[in-house]
Amino acid sequence: MYIVAIGWAYVILMMAVTASSIGKALAILILLGVLPLALFVYVADGPRRRRRSMAVPNEVTGQRDAADPKSDQH
């Protein structure tokens, strides 16, 4: 997953370096680099975040299980 993000960042960086002005370079970096990369990493990392959140026990999150009568007695 990260090799794709690194490759995309490299291509966008090279596009920004060859831009004719600093304003265009910053626009390229932000609009074609930072925003799409952030979205890609968020979407691609979704399954891992979901597995991690399901693996966290209730004691750590502070949630109580209604089926467990001892969960509200600390």
What is the reported pLDDT for 34?
94
What is the reported pLDDT for 2?
82
What is the reported pLDDT for 57?
62
User: Where are the alpha helices (H) located in the chain, listed in sequence order?
Assistant: 2-17, 22-28, 35-44, 46-55, 58-61
In this model, does residue 60 exceed pLDDT 70? no
Q: Which carries the bigger pLDDT value, residue 2 or residue 39?
A: 39
- CA angle 15-18-19, nearest 5°? 85
Q: Does this model's pTM top 0.85?
A: no
Domain ranges in the chain are 2-50
- Mean of the pLDDT values across residues 40-63? 76
